[in-house]
A and B are shown apart, each in its own frame.
Chain A
Amino acid sequence: MTDVLTEFLRPRDEPPSYAQYTAVANALAAGNSQQTGRPPLKVAVLRNFTVEPLLPVLAGEIFRAGFHPAFYTGDFDAVQADVLNPASPLYAFEPDFIIVAQWLETLSPALTTAFVSTPAEQVAAEADRVRGHLREILAALRASSRAPVLINNFPLPAEPTLGILDAQSAAYQTNTVLQLNAGLLAAAQEQSDVFVVDFMRVFAAHGSASLVDERHWQIARAPLSQKALVPLGTEYVKFIRALRGKARKCLVLDCDNTLWGGIVGEDGLAGIKLGPTYPGSCFVALQREILNLHDRGVILALCSKNNEADVLEVLRDHPDSVLKEEHFAARQINWDDKVTNLRRIAAELNIGLDSLVFVDDNPFEADYVREQLPEVAVVALPPKAYASYRSLLSRPGYFDTLSFTAEDRRKTAMYGENRARKELESASGSLEEYLAKLGIEVEIGPPSEVDVPRVAQLTQKTNQFNLTTRRYTEGDIRAFAAASDSDVFALKVRDRVADLGLVGVAVVTYDGTTAAIDSFLLSCRAIGRGVEDALLATVARHAAQAKGAERIVGTYAPTSKNAMVRDFYARHGFAPVDETPDRATWSTSTTTAPGLGVPTWIHVRNGDPTHAVR
């Protein structure tokens, strides 16, 4: 990698300059995916305004997310020509993501600069026309491409043509734009894997006046100011991270001067700053934000140089501590160095270091972790700027995902339940005895409509127990489930302690008498029970009995994360067929397979096919 790229990736507090982004984008365009060692990611940008100033930030942030970006930029205001023609250069580019960048002033002067001269009855008709135009674009894209589509909504007018009168009627400009945005959301929801990029929120949060450059709008139809580029570029890349399994999963927190003001070991329970008045109120606000993340399914952990008893006293007994002991799935409260402790936390939770976000107020600790563990995202809280802590944590969107499933709501509770299982384990003689005591029940069958988001989410997020690491959208999963030459299996697990929900997925394709396992994965919280054996046995039985398959072929594609399943097929009696550095292929007979069977301690129920997606 060139110096420009290495320097760009070096962790630090201040964001890169725009000049740096331009240099990075040029270095990426001049190099290729082999040179940077990052998989390529192709992004098509269709637009009715000049997006070019935004592209360097997109390129840099996509690179930071772990990919080597390539761009296709559609001709100015020629979106329809691109999307309606299946032979257009857009589809020949085979994009992984499609950005539809729309500026309302180009789309409809009648609803923007000329609003006051537009007759009332024409406003509704014009809004309908714009909505129909956007719907048509989205439908055409979906008909010819499976790539996720990111389409922006419209910022509210900063200077409505009617001035203060504008807010006095629902028929005026601001409310018309709000209605139009609601219509765009409805149009997006009609299609699978179309996502709304909330320009309305970004412009409100940063200020429309500072995000629009009237000068470049008039000169080059480039409305975005220099201040707009980083917020909007990073906003787009949040979607790419979420859909490509790059969202972070676990928040690791320091305690003193992070979760409360002061040092509990010195100031005591009554002396620390945590309560309704400043500065204690800042820590309550931060704790509240952390609890929100917990409730969204983010795993919480503590990493503090402290006496454990002092910290637990705060969590158990302090009346203003929003966070309680049970919210934390792991804790390393001791006097060891934080790098060692972060490694322990990742190992205990069975997640990668690149799933961690570490928060500390001590610049030494923050720098040490950045230096030693560059894959960990570090939030360095500036000393004494307590009021800024909450937004420093939430603004980067480290944990943003595009689904919020029942499993997410339950996830951190599940980690607590794992502790209950461990207690059961220590009371059992052998592992098998323990597993028998657990009373594991699995249900395996085609996903229902409500299961589809979770199935897609698992393909996007699972890294370790994942044989091929193929990321699929909800549309992909529906297509596999509906086709006659492929099947999707969803694995649900419950035991005596709790219901783990949907934790495993297999995708299988059929060709003649061969069944090929396209994807096979298990969420890390279900590892170690043998439920994968039940899934594999069910896949093989279904292939033989319902599809007439005689052989079943499995693939292992190595990544930096999935070494734990390197021998998965060997362990299940598959014979090696072929091996290259990128993939190993294995095969076995569906009928005589010696290694396929359900462990005695697991009770299997067949999933209910009545509500399966078709």
Chain B
Amino acid sequence: MPSANESKLKETLAGVLGIPAGTIGEDTSMDTVEEWDSLKHLNLVLALEEQFGVSLTEEQSFEILSYPLIKIVLAEHGIEFAA
């Protein structure tokens, strides 16, 4: 069972990037998704901060380049994902 946070993260990524939520998984990253360019990345940071009520540091905004990395960074803010 995916956690509620996991679903929310996939929805957010899908909305910002304009791709189906069903295609998002552990291998989703800036390298594998054509739509995920540096401008969309900016929108992604804003949408993630809004949806999860967090404020990313400058460093973290550069680190979140893939679905697994986003989960790791959000976990640092206390957002829990099923292991």
Contacts A/B (CB < 8 Å), 25 sampled: A17-B47, A17-B50, A18-B46, A18-B50, A19-B12, A19-B50, A22-B15, A22-B16, A22-B43, A22-B47, A23-B18, A26-B15, A26-B18, A27-B18, A29-B18, A30-B18, A50-B42, A52-B43, A53-B46, A56-B43, A215-B61, A216-B45, A218-B58, A219-B62, A226-B50
Residue B17 lies at the interface, judged by CB distance under 8 Å to chain A: yes
Q: B14 — which chain A residues lie within 8 A by C-beta?
A: 23
Query: Does B39 reach chain A (CB closer than 8 Å)?
Result: yes
Nearest neighbor of A25 in chain B, beta-carbon distance: B18
In the complex, how many angstroms separate the beta carbon of A251 from the nearest chain B beta carbon?
A: 32
Residue numbers of B with Cβ under 8 A of A are 11-12, 14-18, 38-40, 42-43, 45-47, 49-51, 58, 61-62
Least distance between B13 CB and chain A CB atoms (Å): 9
Q: Which of A26, A27, A218, A226 contacts B46 (CB 8 A)?
A: A226
A29 cross-chain contacts in B, Cβ below 8 A:
18
Whole-angstrom distance between the alpha carbons of A218 and B62 in the complex? 13
Chain A residues touching B, majority SS: helix
Is A222 located at the chain interface by the 8 A CB criterion?
A: yes
- Counting CB contacts under 8 A, is A220 at the interface? yes
For residue A53, give the distance in angstroms from its CB to the closest CB of chain B: 5
The distance from the CB of A478 to the nearest CB of chain B, in whole angstroms, is 39
Given contacts A17-B50, A22-B47, A218-B58, 6 further A-B contacts (CB under 8 A): A19-B50, A19-B51, A52-B43, A53-B46, A216-B45, A219-B58
6 interchain residue pairs of minimum CB distance: A26-B18, A23-B15, A19-B47, A52-B39, A226-B46, A22-B16
A21 to chain B, nearest CB (A): 8
With A30-B18, A215-B58 in contact, is A17–B51 under 8 Å at CB?
yes
Q: A20 contacts the other chain (Cβ, under 8 Å)? A: yes
Do residues A50 and B39 form an inter-chain contact, with CB atoms below 8 A? yes
Point out the residues of chain B lying under 8 angstroms from A219, CB to CB. Answer: 58, 61-62
Interface residues in A450-474 (C-beta closer than 8 Å to B): none
Among B11, B14, B45, B49, chain A packs the most CB atoms within 10 A around the CB of: B45
One digit per residue, 1 when the CB lies within 8 angstroms of any chain B CB and 0 when it does not, for chain A 283-318 equals 000000000000000000000000000000000000
